[in-house]
Amino acid sequence: MAKQQVAKTAPRRQSLEVKLGVGKMYRLFAAATLLIAAPLSAQQVHEQQAAFDAAVLSDRELIAEAQANRWLEQPCDIGVPLFGEILERGLGDTHVARAQLFAGALCDDERDDYAAGMAKVRQLEAGWPDFDFTDLGLYFAVRSNNAAEYLSRMRALDNGQLGEFEPQRFWQGFRMVRDQGAEDRFDDIMLEWIDARRLAYLPADLHAGVAMAALSAAIRHGRTEMAPQLLATIRSPADYLTLLSMREYEAIWPFAAERAGPNLEAITDEYVFWASARLENHPSDRDRFSDAAHALHYAGRFEEAIALARQWRERDGSMASIEEGDGWTLNIEAYANDALGRRDEADRIFDQLAALDPEEHPWVVNFVINRASRLVGHERWEDGLEAASLARRVADSWGSQYARMIIARDHTCALAALDRADEIAPELAFLRENKAESYTLAAQALLCVGERAEAVDLLLEGIADEPNRSQVLGACSRAPSTCSIRRLNCRIRSSCSTKAPSCRQPSSNMRASSRRSSRRLHRSSRTAERPSRPSRPRARNTAAKFTSSALVRTRPSLAASLAVRGCNWASRGATAPRSTIASPGSSRRSG
């Protein structure tokens, strides 16, 4: 008997987005509990806003409450006692018992007791094997930092489950596994999937990310002959900057250089064609729309990127129904206008995004941060400082630690330029304290205040730190000015190789790639994570899927996410959005 699929309980892609929303969850559990009854009236709902007490409700009221969706929003206060009372009175059966366990898992998530949530998932799986709790299990494995559990569940996925695999869960899992020191095991599983020809079952959004991971494993196992096959799936020019600049990939440089072409022209043209074709096949897909605009922007086809973005803007009610993918499209339009010298128009677009209510659109944290960083980057210090203050207010509720570091850097640089040195100390203290989150952001701030020697020491410390080395080296390749300090040059080059070879100039193709990259305005800043190893995405933004920002922080509870249809909330340490700091479109891990 085919397993019944339980509604996804966490984000899709890089933000904690609710793909299925409360609708499917409501139908699944309302039907499963066999408590079908008319929904509560508005008056009844209003009357029950007081503290919930299941014991005082009549049998009929209990059944009606089970039909409403309030227990999804308040699993601890309503869900657990509600189903417990129903079972206590003998009104329910095994279906109600399942609903009680599920509510308990949501409650554990709300209380950050992820190990307990994982235990309830195991009970659900043991008691109801015909139901598929895979996504819920992966979620709690990630939240409880249980790399072994996560990898075991990944290996056990059948082809049908691969087809339903949430990209968000993939990136979340990778970041957790990497932080737990099990990245090689993750990569090995990806190579196993490739060997078993299972890539076709996965969502297209994950193909490039899986291929990048499998490529690392193939190189480690001496299977460089697989490079052409795997590179055929990797289309983002940003990935080729990684492949051609990190010595981890030295064994396959000839293959990567040939596919990328001089100055990345061949792969950039393919990227544009691929993204445009995907949009043509599904013109209503907001994320594909965003990807196509980004590809045109990256290729330097700014007018075309703007024209494409305006197609969305010209729709009736476009801002009223805006979602995160639309925000990234506007983000690209703004940067394309910047590239053409139309700063007033770019200002207008960013101001429009900044006016969105973060309570309704938590992902706006990406754009208020990009807006502030852009203004500071233009040396519009007063405007930049004001924008950074707004970004800080939003990030206090919706931003990750990485997001707050970007804001602290922007504050530091703007305050230094405005000769307000007496206000800088708290910013630098925060950056120093959290340097491991991003050595390069801390170093950039130190350079703004003239602390060149400390900035060098900090970058050298990052290079010496194995988990953060690729983050620093990758940032240096994308923003050479941060690392253009003489005593860093040899260390940076030699650190790319475990054999610590003598300093040597990169290939002409690599130098051209770097020049090309530095000319491109990067996509907006990532709000949910920091960059990491050869850019595994800003969460490996596979094939340019970067919606959720590294700046977006801890999600509202899992239950709250289920109860709000269509919200893209990034989870703790989740997701990767496009970044002005990390290269655009990378499908390799970042994190």
Q: State the pLDDT at residue 481.
A: 65
Q: In angstroms, rounded to a whole number, what is the distance separating the alpha carbons of residues 87 and 97?
A: 7
pTM for the complete prediction?
0.70
* Angle between helical axes of 94-110 and 21-33 (0-180°, round to 10): 140
What average pLDDT score do residues 136-145 get? Answer: 93
**pLDDT higher for 476 or 52?**
52
* Cβ-based neighbours of 544, under 8 Å, separated by 6 or more: 236, 271, 275, 291, 294, 295, 584, 585, 587
pLDDT exceeding 90 applies to what percent of the chain?
Answer: 50
* pLDDT, tens digit (0-9, with 9 covering 90-100), for 20-47: 233 333 333 433 443 333 333 444 444 4
Q: In angstroms, rounded to a whole number, what is the distance separating the alpha carbons of residues 448 and 379?
A: 12
End-to-end Cα separation, the chain, in angstroms: 39
* Cβ-based neighbours of 349, under 8 Å, separated by 6 or more: 330, 333, 334, 337
The 10 Å Cβ neighbour count of residue 301 is 16
**pLDDT higher for 46 or 332?**
332
| Exposure on the CB side of residue 12, measured as CA atoms within 13 A | 20
Q: State the pLDDT at residue 488.
A: 57
* pLDDT, tens digit (0-9, with 9 covering 90-100), for 468-488: 776 777 677 666 666 655 555
Q: State the pLDDT at residue 150.
A: 96
Q: State the pLDDT at residue 127.
A: 92
* pLDDT, tens digit (0-9, with 9 covering 90-100), for 103-128: 999 999 999 999 999 999 999 999 99
* Cβ-based neighbours of 124, under 8 Å, separated by 6 or more: 98, 101, 102, 105, 131, 133, 136
Q: State the pLDDT at residue 478.
A: 62
Q: In angstroms, rounded to a whole number, what is the distance separating the alpha carbons of residues 487 and 149?
A: 44
Q: State the pLDDT at residue 5.
A: 41
* Cβ-based neighbours of 397, under 8 Å, separated by 6 or more: 358, 362
DSSP string, 346-380: HHHHHHHHHTS-TTT-GGGHHHHHHHHHHHHHTT-
Q: Average pLDDT over the chain, rounded to whole? A: 76
* pLDDT, tens digit (0-9, with 9 covering 90-100), for 80-104: 999 999 888 888 778 888 999 999 9
Q: State the pLDDT at residue 148.
A: 96
- On whether the CB atoms of residues 362 and 569 are closer than 8 A, the answer is yes
Q: State the pLDDT at residue 395.
A: 94
pLDDT exceeding 70 applies to what percent of the chain?
Answer: 71
Q: Is a pLDDT exceeding 60 seen at residue 212?
A: yes
Q: Which helix (H) or strand (E) holds 272?
A: helix 265-281
* Least-confidence region, from 59-68, 84-93, 217-226, 312-321: 312-321
Q: In angstroms, rounded to a whole number, what is the distance separating the alpha carbons of residues 457 and 460?
A: 5
Q: State the pLDDT at residue 317.
A: 59
Q: Is a pLDDT exceeding 90 seen at residue 566?
A: no
Confidence of residue 167 (pLDDT cuts 50, 70, 90): confident
**Dihedrals phi, psi of 536, to nearest 5 degrees:** -70, 125
In terms of Cα–Cα distance, which of 426, 326, 334, 329 is closest to 373? Answer: 334
In a 3-state reduction of DSSP, which class is residue 56?
A: helix
- State which amino acid sits at residue 501: P
* pLDDT, tens digit (0-9, with 9 covering 90-100), for 357-407: 999 999 999 999 999 999 999 999 999 999 999 999 999 988 888 999 999
* pLDDT, tens digit (0-9, with 9 covering 90-100), for 418-469: 999 999 999 999 999 999 888 999 999 999 999 999 999 999 998 887 667 7
* pLDDT, tens digit (0-9, with 9 covering 90-100), for 251-304: 999 999 999 999 999 999 999 999 999 999 998 888 888 889 999 999 999 999
